[in-house]
Structure 1
Amino acid sequence: MEGIIKKSSQLLFCFIVTITINLFATANLFAADYLEVVDKNISFQWKINGSNLDVILKAKTAGWVGVGFEPSMAMKDAHFIIGFIQNNKATIEDHFGTGINQHQAITALGGKDSISNKSGKLEKGETTLNFTIPLKASDKYHKNLDTGKDVVVLLAYSDKTSLLRKHPFYASYSINLKSGAKKLLKHSK
């Protein structure tokens, strides 16, 4: 009887160790699916998901956080996704760079919101936005994001929730969305 109990205990221990290892491997595999750029207090994570780009955007702020793609100059002509959390609710908007330091909601310009799977949270002073955008442009306010070529990506955040308030931090990168290769282009001081 004592041998059976000992054998059962050993089997149970092996089972628990196997389950634990599998859980950690699965968690690391999920995290490894996303590529990432981290700059000071902001993080841009992305994953190509068929014809879409899944994004996790984080910044150490209780204000807005945003990402922009493919400007012609400064902010002009960029496709922006910008948002904030207030009262535990995520507000995430589709914007277009109407000038070198201006942007406006795409819906106000006559375009359509292309963002799906919108969610987010504010925890311990860090805003996290999750969303999905198509890799192919649906109108003149959106950008075709070629995953095999370098794409200019703008990152910014503010301590305010007004989406039109100027950002104290920004950075621009040239990023290959497929490989994750990146090069810093410009940075706020």
Structure 2
Amino acid sequence: MGRKAIVAAAAALTLSCGSPAPGGTAAEEGAATAPGSLPGDSESILYDGFQLSWTPEGDSILVTMSAPTTGWIAAGFHSGGAMNDAQIVIGWVDGREVRIRDDFGTGFTTHAADTTLGGTDDLVLISGTEQNGRTTITFRMPLDSGDDNDRKLVPGEPCRAVLAYGNDGDDSFTGYHAWAGSTDIEI
């Protein structure tokens, strides 16, 4: 099987979401690493410590996101520039509670829950852990939910992914990022 994931030269660029939060870091040029394949049809990228893995399964996609924080983590798909027009999944783990939310990028630096925009929350939470300063969340979402606030994901086609995480302990859907980056992947 050929490499499905592509890390383009533009992968080293950060999101244009403003500067990092105090004490946070922004992605540096050359920080993206080559993707590593997982067993089966899974693909994975590691970008400045943020790991994103995905596996198309029938009419849905299984996604795992993991980052070096005890705060929130997020991944967005089909960005039109920063967060704009991206289908965003944001979540956090607090003890035994795992929360995720289906969001849509309403502007370059803003996002809102699909449900507040007249859409639906189409995510299925699979698992979430917070161990050794790292948050990991696995979820399933439809490749094409039919929701105007979700972007259609097509296996084998390119997709601009935006990745971000919050400061340690920032368990929220609205906190400012400590780190953010973007990269091109192939679903």
Would you say same fold, with TM above 0.5?
A: yes
1:93 paired residue among 94, 98, 101: 101
Residue 31 (structure 1) shift: 4.4
Tell me the number of residue pairs that the alignment of Structure 1 and Structure 2 aligns: 149
Identical aligned residues as a percent:
32
Residue 57 (structure 1) shift: 0.6
Q: What is residue 174 of structure 1 aligned with on the other side? A: 184
Query: Within the alignment, does 1:62 sit opposite 2:70 as a pair?
Result: yes
Larger gyration radius, structure 1 or structure 2? 1
Q: Which runs of 4+ in 1 moved over 3 A?
A: 30-33
Q: Which amino acid aligns with 2:68?
A: K
TM-score of the aligned structures, taking structure 1 as reference length: 0.74
2:164 paired residue among 142, 145, 156: 156
1:145 paired residue among 153, 158, 165: 153
Q: What is residue 136 of structure 2 aligned with on the other side? A: 128
TM-score of the aligned structures, taking structure 2 as reference length: 0.75
Residue 108 (structure 1) shift: 1.4
- The DSSP-based 3-state class of the residue aligned with 1:107 is helix
- Are 2:100 and 2:125, in contact at CA under 8 Å, matched by a contact in 1? no
- Are 1:92 and 1:118, in contact at CA under 8 Å, matched by a contact in 2? no
Distance 2:156 2:71 in 1: 33
2:111 paired residue among 103, 109, 112: 103
Distance 1:110 1:55 in 2: 24
- Are 1:155 and 1:171, in contact at CA under 8 Å, matched by a contact in 2? yes
User: Mind listing any 5+ residue stretches in structure 1 that lack a counterpart?
Assistant: 1-29, 178-189
Q: Which has the higher contact order (CA 8 A, sep 6+)?
A: 2
The RMSD of aligned alpha carbons is 1.6
Deviation digits for residues 110-150 of structure 1 (CA, Å, limit 9, x no counterpart): 21101014320111111010100111132110011121211
Deviation digits for residues 38-95 of structure 1 (CA, Å, limit 9, x no counterpart): 0112100111111111011101100000000112222111110010001221101000
Structure showing the higher helix proportion among its residues: 1
Q: Which amino acid aligns with 1:94?
A: D
1:118 paired residue among 97, 107, 126: 126
Q: 1:138 to 1:102 in 2, by over 3 A?
A: same
Residue 34 (structure 1) shift: 2.4
Distance 1:89 1:78 in 2: 26
Q: Which amino acid aligns with 2:127?
A: S
Distance 1:118 1:58 in 2: 14
